[in-house]
Copies of this chain bind each other. A is one copy, B any other.
């Protein structure tokens, strides 16, 4: 299949590569030259612009930083990309953005005879490289089925969350909960350690009890518990504090629109914001435990 891939950074790059390796014709584009060079080095064609990339494409996959980029790309100011995409083509937007933006773009796409699904991912750069991402999809059954063969080349789990925008909502609900879990798990371990408990022993007890959660399972914030977790690597790599801050912000933004109440989500966002202001924005988000530990 002829695929255009826009946004080939740390996440989009390996995703585009997995489609290419699966035998698809991929034409990619990114405003960042280094990103383009990295992917070109693996054999993928690089277009001179997004407009160029989508010429004749049957499917367009996008992986962009934020709502304004997706809206700007597709809708522009009277000269968005939708006008240049072939009727009948399928757009898969894997960016994590506001559900309202997904819905706005989808509506315009539909009017132009173009299929659209939102398909944000979880699984990080490791999952992007390994092709084991989780996709949370919003859109019609029919559109999802068209997208499935491509999604399966990039990911291991494909969830259908509901109609357009539902993928985004599921993603931010999950990530808000993840942000809360990580802070809560950090508080519990720090409290135990302040009482003289061994963080490994306490973590194992809670993992197998009613406090059990993903962080205790795979991503312990305390150094020395999970050997492959960022905590054992000085909180390098992983999922950055500033990315978690963005997702918690999307959750708060959504809560405002729907008048929802998210007390812990709000506090978690403020803590990550403070952690970022203190200079730790690029460290893995599990480093938030340092806010709760005595500094030498």
Partner of A174, one of B178, B205, B214: B205
Q: Complex formed: what's the CA distance from A169 to B214 in Å?
A: 22
Per-residue 0/1 for A240-263: is the Cβ within 8 Å of any B Cβ (1 yes, 0 no)?
A: 000001000101111110111111
Partner of A177, one of B184, B204, B276, B295: B184
Q: Complex formed: what's the CA distance from A263 to B252 in Å?
A: 13
Q: Is A38 an interface residue (CB 8 A)?
A: no
Q: Is A273 an interface residue (CB 8 A)?
A: yes
Within 8 A of B (CB), among A250-295: 251-256, 258-271, 273-274, 276-279, 291-295
For chain A, the bracket of interface size reads 35 or more
Within 8 A of B (CB), among A139-173: 157, 159-163, 165-166, 169-170, 172-173
Q: In the complex, what residues of B have CB within 8 A of residue A260's CB?
A: 187, 190-191, 194, 273, 292
Q: How many protomers of this protein does the assembly include? A: 4
Q: Is A34 an interface residue (CB 8 A)?
A: no
A36 CB, min distance to chain B CBs, angstroms: 29
Q: Complex formed: what's the CA distance from A162 to B193 in Å?
A: 11
A292 CB, min distance to chain B CBs, angstroms: 5
Given known contacts A162-B198, A194-B258, A210-B174, A293 and B277 CB-to-CB distance under 8 angstroms: yes
A197 CB, min distance to chain B CBs, angstroms: 5
Is B266 within 8 A of A162, CB to CB? no
The chain A residues found within 8 Å of chain B, CB to CB, are 99, 122, 134, 136, 157, 159-163, 165-166, 169-170, 172-178, 180-181, 183-185, 187-192, 194-198, 201-202, 204-206, 208-214, 217, 219, 245, 249, 251-256, 258-271, 273-274, 276-279, 291-295
Q: List 18 additional contacts besides A191-B251, A277-B292; criterion CB under 8 Å.
A: A99-B195, A122-B210, A162-B197, A166-B197, A174-B205, A175-B210, A177-B188, A177-B206, A178-B209, A180-B188, A184-B265, A188-B265, A191-B258, A253-B253, A259-B273, A259-B277, A263-B266, A264-B264
